[in-house]
Structure 1
């Protein structure tokens, strides 16, 4: 009778409106339809704790932690699931203080609550606090809590502590052992991992696959292959792990051979092989494999459409997208990205508008596309319409306005951000540097430090660039010290910025020392040193560095030649400069651009070879710019050639009709030649054109 009554009660509950609504709410939440879930929740006349917990989990899963907390605080009653869901949400999104506050306020903690808090601290690297929570756990500590602490130690590289705790456990299980093993393999400690693996009393397939993944992660495919051969009856995960290793290493032949030998292939194996072909741009093989696939999921479609898009086969990608049997936002976003890369904004927007439920990646792709095309108004309009803006969205808009010279708007967006990360600060700091607002860049670095946001190599590179342009040697040295302490000193970007800073501050020996101490020099490093010697008048040393580049088989680029030609110009090395200029096309297949011709005009002009300079400029295949004519005009004054000065000035006035300094220079040349009428005409032009003011950047804060 009792069993029959219970069954009847269960059936009645299942038939109730609240039960059915809760089921639908859970379905919507799990399928990512948050807005629909919220509408259903708000429309429900009756809600129980299960209803609230379902909505709470949905908000947390989508990163809406503040909304989840507001809902949690308004719950008429809470059970352990409610408290644990909220603690887990805060933990997953790095809100450690909020998680601890909830944990402390929880009326009755269960084993899961303690485990969550240990995991939260461990994930944040607060291992001592995690251990304190573990030690305070009342009664017999659960295995899951021990395992969370062991995993925390292992993932943070404290392997001795992990092993010690493992041995202290009353009853360690395979999860305990595998947690230590996972930490070792994921940290690349393969020698120690092999030793630990051999000491394990019991091993399961997870243990073997962790080792295999470790070899693959370390790039030791020979070791991975040898270890794979030791596995008795490898499962599909084992096969896929080795397959993925071959594909990522570009060993597509070995990958295909392994793929063909697999006793069973799941959809993951097919997708890994497909992605391997796409990664190497072997689109024909990828398309053939795609056609052969017995089953395809959203990853399969997205991979092949992305591959076709990257290969520039946009129409084929579009045709395939039209055949896709289900709705896949990722695949549509991949084609949208391809259109944006090809500046086909209209086609991209058409796809975007046709997507009913857009994720953050979809929104950000479209916004970023507008920004890259300089369509900032359209980007801002879309940004304002975006329902759930993430940090990427905000950072994209900051970078867009900064690159467009609109720093006032960039800073305005930056100030409205609730949560800024390192990229946010870097976007605004580099924006100030790009727009010549160097003091503002350094000021915002100080604000960043006060905000306790961690600087990276990009931050230091931008700030060093600001120091270089301000010739602020002492500040640059402070950044050098910070770089050493931060561990970014070996980064090539930061190292290159240091070279430029010392060189622009006139400390070329210190710049050379930084260059010599750099572990990984790239072409930018060599160019920075050559430019440093050039700007400090050391033409012979710049040429010596260039010759060293050649000896080391490092191919110069266009920037290298700007530096070396400038060095020859400043040092008066005319013949050497001409040889370098002529070698650009002959030896390196580099076509000279405006900056190279400007250097040559300056070089020949300084040497008084004005006719040669004019012939060079007039015989150019590209249109001369103001820099070239300006260099010639300056040389004409130096060598008192007023006739050529008039010709150069006419060309310059066409390009820069409102720049007063050009008219002043011509007036002075005419006056020095005793041509007072010409001098007066030039001065009269100044009054006609008005005083020139260079267009200011859109202001700092």
Structure 2
């Protein structure tokens, strides 16, 4: 709610006209209108002379309004000398007639004509009075003519009217509107005899200029000077409290209003309600409206609708909106944008359609909001209709509107349309460039995105973040880290979103050294470690296998929200530290931090890794009955995995069949893995049947079933599965392993020879395979990607240091056995993070205890 402007003019009265003996006829107004029409139709002095004779005989020439129109006629015909002879016959001073003409032009909305008349007055030496200057200030203010306003101010001083209070007040109002605080202050300070209008103007100017504290300071000074604040004063002061979100001061002002019996209605009521809403006191706002006897207008209703939206009471907002007898464009925009803010995109678009049906002409704000909703739900057709609507109304596609159209078309995969809009923009801002860049990134055309990025004339942090996020999305981690280095060279300072994206990428590829470097960067640059950054760092350390560092950071954080706690519980879960995860959850409850559904996924996963069957059931029940969280497929998946780990396969199947939601591929996969561990072939076949009904070409399911048949010695069935895979044309997803070395992330695939050090890598791999038992060599010699990464780690890292590898698939039995043997023979810690958990190999043992 903006501060109310004080009255621009405190006095517009003209000097009193001399009385005449001419009787006032009932048909005077009709005759006046006829004369006005005749004057407009005149094109020369000869035609005017007949009207002039009529004005004299009817005595109408003495009426200032008629005279002013006559004057207007002479100005348009450039014959002011003749006019002066005519007006010398009237009783009124000539200034009054000129002022009447100026006033008439102001009412007609023609400030340009006012300046022209003023120029004629000065040129002809017509005396200027207080009313003239009031009109002139009004004209300057209406079109923000600050140069002319300064000139008028100078003439006021020359004319000796500088001490006139009403003129000073109006000049303050004029300068205040133009944001000229210095001039307003000078006028305010030099004039000792200030009335309430002077104080209101000064206070309002402070609020307009974003100086609410100074405005409130004047309130106390005003009272000390014996000037009683009025309703307009309080509107500005309450607006100042709203800007400061100063509820305590706002309540004091409210009390002052009531104690001094000022009328709470109109703008003051709206401002008080807005103050309470923006200070988070929606109930007090409602109470105030209920107590006030004044009529609730459209502005107040719209403010309340906005309040309900901010209070996350979207249904109450819509209910009030529907009850409004009168709705303006702002009302519609408030409700539509409220839906968008709360992610109710379909409801917002339905309401937008209703608004158009009601013939409410949209403005740029509501169109941008509607286009944003279309982009989120990818509604191409409605977005195209809105574009047509913009063209129909002749709106300029520029600024926010142009950027919104680019964003919409880009997100709806219509890059050709987005490019057309972009090319046609008369002025391309950095937002325009970033919207277009985001479109290229979303399309997956990374090379084109990078080329476009290079063309951006002035890149801001959003430009860099967009491309960094794109590289992360498409797993171009090497280029991502190089891009971050380029960003620093460009002197664009990374923000928290940049750092979170980088940390997330480090977590994905296990790039611990990069992650540590980013942590050091955060410390060196004194960047606040808030919950968002803290969560990203804990997640990075946890997924890079540095659980001790993750917990150290967690312990150092003083303010921890649910996301921070969840990240730490998940880190313990991945390490198989089930009881530590459970203890941390109990501590979280003691601290009164309410867990969300992700917290329970992490906790149940920890129970699964640790085989804690009783705790798993306990917390699953607690989630549903205490925290009222409806279980998702991931929660059921953790329970199936837990039951499978401890061999309760029938119970796991029973849980799957009793779920209120359809089991997905991951659910049946979990059951199949458990069947493999406990060699239940029949149930494995049952799970395989259901899994392939959902995804017939799932390569992992076929491989898993073949392995189960092989363990059971059913080689004919193994051949059948492999034949089926071949006939269906299903290609086994190649394994991919990543290892960070000397600041570079290296990628390996099964049988990969692309690395420049391939000769050394395969030589080391042959050496490693020599220590494996002969009966395991056939499976272990398949050149799986994790073994290539480990061999690379041996030749490129100092002896005795841990080797860390990230694998995109679950580690196979042969590789798992090989890692245990290698860790023992070479006395090296090997840390492998597969797509399920961490495996820490030390002295011939794995942290998973051979169950994964």
User: Aligned pair count?
Assistant: 537
Q: Call closer, same or farther: CA 1:401–1:221 in 2, change over 3 Å.
A: same
Larger Rg: 2
Match of 1:246 among 276, 294, 299: 276
Deviations 1:418-447, CA, capped at 9 Å, x for gaps: 222222222222233233333333222222
Deviation at 1:658, TM superposition (A): 5.0
TM-score (norm 1): 0.62
Equivalent residue, structure 2, for 1:462: 501
Q: Call closer, same or farther: CA 1:178–1:426 in 2, change over 3 Å.
A: farther
Deviations 1:196-220, CA, capped at 9 Å, x for gaps: 9869999999999876544333322
Deviation at 1:548, TM superposition (A): 2.6
- For residues 649 and 267 of structure 1, what CA distance do their matches in structure 2 show? 63
Q: Call closer, same or farther: CA 1:270–1:183 in 2, change over 3 Å.
A: closer
Specify which structure has the bigger relative contact order, considering alpha-carbon pairs within 8 angstroms and separated by 6 or more residues: 2
Deviations 1:664-695, CA, capped at 9 Å, x for gaps: 44434333322222233334445443643469
- For residues 660 and 271 of structure 1, what CA distance do their matches in structure 2 show? 57
Q: Call closer, same or farther: CA 1:282–1:209 in 2, change over 3 Å.
A: closer
Deviation at 1:226, TM superposition (A): 2.5
Equivalent residue, structure 2, for 1:98: none
Deviation at 1:488, TM superposition (A): 3.8
Equivalent residue, structure 1, for 2:710: 671
Paired residues for 1:110-509 under 5 Å = 194=217, 213-227=239-253, 242-248=272-278, 249=280, 250=282, 251-253=284-286, 256=289, 275-276=306-307, 281-286=316-321, 291=326, 299=330, 302-303=333-334, 306=337, 312=347, 317-324=352-359, 328-335=363-370, 344-356=379-391, 357=395, 358-370=397-409, 383=422, 388-400=427-439, 402=441, 405-509=444-548
Q: Call closer, same or farther: CA 1:274–1:534 in 2, change over 3 Å.
A: closer
Q: Call closer, same or farther: CA 1:199–1:394 in 2, change over 3 Å.
A: same
Equivalent residue, structure 2, for 1:126: none
Q: Call closer, same or farther: CA 1:665–1:656 in 2, change over 3 Å.
A: same
Deviation at 1:453, TM superposition (A): 1.4
Higher helix share: 1
Deviations 1:317-373, CA, capped at 9 Å, x for gaps: 545445557563434444555566666542342232122314433344344445555
- For residues 595 and 277 of structure 1, what CA distance do their matches in structure 2 show? 34
Kept after mapping to 2: 8 A contact 1:184/1:193? no
**Residue 523 (structure 1) aligned with residue 556 (structure 2):** no
Q: Call closer, same or farther: CA 1:326–1:468 in 2, change over 3 Å.
A: closer
Q: Call closer, same or farther: CA 1:384–1:272 in 2, change over 3 Å.
A: same
- For residues 273 and 555 of structure 1, what CA distance do their matches in structure 2 show? 30
Kept after mapping to 2: 8 A contact 1:246/1:254? no
Q: Call closer, same or farther: CA 1:693–1:412 in 2, change over 3 Å.
A: farther
Deviation at 1:612, TM superposition (A): 2.8
Equivalent residue, structure 2, for 1:692: 732
- For residues 654 and 473 of structure 2, what CA distance do their matches in structure 1 show? 35
Kept after mapping to 2: 8 A contact 1:259/1:273? no
Equivalent residue, structure 2, for 1:606: 645
Q: Call closer, same or farther: CA 1:374–1:531 in 2, change over 3 Å.
A: farther
Q: Secondary structure at the match of 1:312?
A: helix
Deviations 1:590-642, CA, capped at 9 Å, x for gaps: 34333223323322222233333334334444343333333333333333334
Q: Call closer, same or farther: CA 1:453–1:685 in 2, change over 3 Å.
A: same
- For residues 285 and 660 of structure 1, what CA distance do their matches in structure 2 show? 55
Deviation at 1:498, TM superposition (A): 1.0
Q: Which moved more, 1:659-668 or 1:515-524?
A: 659-668
- For residues 305 and 643 of structure 1, what CA distance do their matches in structure 2 show? 56
- For residues 653 and 354 of structure 2, what CA distance do their matches in structure 1 show? 56
Q: Which moved more, 1:196-205 or 1:557-566?
A: 196-205
TM-score (norm 2): 0.52
Q: Any gaps of 5 or more consecutive residues in structure 1? A: 1-6, 13-26, 28-80, 82-142, 152-165, 697-701
Deviation at 1:651, TM superposition (A): 4.4
Q: Call closer, same or farther: CA 1:508–1:222 in 2, change over 3 Å.
A: same
- For residues 226 and 236 of structure 2, what CA distance do their matches in structure 1 show? 11
Q: Call closer, same or farther: CA 1:185–1:622 in 2, change over 3 Å.
A: same
- For residues 200 and 257 of structure 1, what CA distance do their matches in structure 2 show? 30
Q: Secondary structure at the match of 2:494?
A: coil
**Residue 581 (structure 1) aligned with residue 620 (structure 2):** yes
Kept after mapping to 2: 8 A contact 1:569/1:599? yes
Deviation at 1:569, TM superposition (A): 1.4
- For residues 587 and 677 of structure 1, what CA distance do their matches in structure 2 show? 51
Q: Call closer, same or farther: CA 1:317–1:639 in 2, change over 3 Å.
A: closer
Equivalent residue, structure 1, for 2:607: 568
**Residue 510 (structure 1) aligned with residue 540 (structure 2):** no
Deviations 1:465-492, CA, capped at 9 Å, x for gaps: 1122232223222222322344543322
Q: Secondary structure at the match of 1:534?
A: helix
Deviation at 1:274, TM superposition (A): 6.8
- For residues 725 and 439 of structure 2, what CA distance do their matches in structure 1 show? 37
Kept after mapping to 2: 8 A contact 1:602/1:632? yes
- For residues 525 and 188 of structure 1, what CA distance do their matches in structure 2 show? 37
C-alpha RMSD over aligned residues: 5.0
Deviations 1:48-76, CA, capped at 9 Å, x for gaps: xxxxxxxxxxxxxxxxxxxxxxxxxxxxx
Kept after mapping to 2: 8 A contact 1:539/1:568? yes
Q: Call closer, same or farther: CA 1:646–1:392 in 2, change over 3 Å.
A: same
- For residues 629 and 417 of structure 2, what CA distance do their matches in structure 1 show? 38
Q: Secondary structure at the match of 1:453?
A: coil
Deviation at 1:493, TM superposition (A): 1.1
Kept after mapping to 1: 8 A contact 2:507/2:543? yes
Equivalent residue, structure 1, for 2:631: 592
